[in-house]
Amino acid sequence: MDIQTSLLLLAAGVAGGIINALAGGATLITFPAMLAAGLPAVIANASNAVAISPGHLIAALADRGKLPPPTRRTISYVAVATVGGAVGAGVLLLLPERLFLLPVPALIAFATLLFGFAPQIQGWTVGRHKAAALPSTGASGAILGLSCIYGGFFGAGLGVILTAVLSITEPNDIRAIKALKNLLATCVSLAATLIFILQGAVRWPETLAMLLGAMVGGFAGGFLIRILPAHIVRQFVIVAGALMTVVYAARYWF
């Protein structure tokens, strides 16, 4: 890995760490950076997942006081998230490279739309939690499982999806839902990254460069959140996601 690639990944990691601290959505910056560094798409996705995975754990630990007790339901959710993350990672590694390349622009576009409409989804979540919660059903469990499989497969926008899914069945306050979401996202991420590492799908020089940048960016974001309006960061991420969608659609579809 040359110095220019190292600096690109370091800078993308810093940007991703800041973005996650302020608004979320780092994958829309970091995954394209891995592709730009010349990594094959599947390896880029796996390496990106490992590089940004500590963010989920940090978020879960930051609000651990609101984590739910280890009830039967919570344990079942954790099991679904862990299995789903592993399955998603397995599906990614089993796909031929060309079959993963085709949906890449659509995945980036989907994640960008999720991120763009996150405030409306959060508003719906608050309204949903004020109403009577629907009973947990096999259907809601299946939706949670599919969401976690997507998280292991690609992961961008997983937090928004989990928040929406949990608000349907969880009668708790919104902060408790967020804490549970962070816990489940951590399980998905850890399961997927373990599969990627064991299968040798991670390019460590690129991953470590981005991981270092993400740690610096996350630390810097803790200070910038006091002075930098989150809506500016959100607009930047949406524009970047839309641009990346166009760029990779042109590369892989035309």
Q: Is the pLDDT of residue 165 over 90?
A: no
More confident residue, 234 or 186: 186
Mean pLDDT across 14-33:
85
What band does 81 get if pLDDT is binned at 50, 70 and 90?
very high
Mean model confidence pLDDT for the chain = 84
Residue 112 has a pLDDT of 87
Q: Is the pLDDT of residue 17 over 60?
A: yes
SS in 3 state form for 129-175?
HHCCCCCCCHHHHHHHHHHHHHHHHCCCCHHHHHHHHHHHHCCCCHH
The CA-based angle 56-189-21, given to 5 degrees, is 25
Strands (E), 67-224: none
What band does 237 get if pLDDT is binned at 50, 70 and 90?
confident
- Nearest CA to 107 out of 144, 145, 158 is that of 158
Contacts of 230 (CB under 8 A, 6+ apart): 22, 23
Q: Is the pLDDT of residue 157 over 70?
A: yes
The CA-based angle 97-101-103, given to 5 degrees, is 130
Residue 22 has a pLDDT of 75
Condensed to tens digits (0 to 9), the pLDDT of residues 86-136 reads 999 999 999 888 888 888 899 889 988 888 887 776 666 556 555 544 445
Residue 132 has a pLDDT of 45
The lowest-confidence range among 3-7, 158-162, 170-174 is 170-174
What band does 251 get if pLDDT is binned at 50, 70 and 90?
confident
Residue 78 has a pLDDT of 93
What band does 137 get if pLDDT is binned at 50, 70 and 90?
low
Contacts of 58 (CB under 8 A, 6+ apart): 218
Task: Give percent of the chain above pLDDT 70.
Answer: 87
Residue 79 has a pLDDT of 95
| Helices first, then strands: H and E counts in the chain | 13, 0
Residue 63 has a pLDDT of 66
Q: Is the pLDDT of residue 138 over 70?
A: no
Residue 118's φ and ψ, nearest 5 degrees, are -55, -40
More confident residue, 167 or 145: 145
Tokens of 12: 């993308």
Q: Is the pLDDT of residue 211 over 60?
A: yes
Q: Is the pLDDT of residue 26 over 90?
A: no
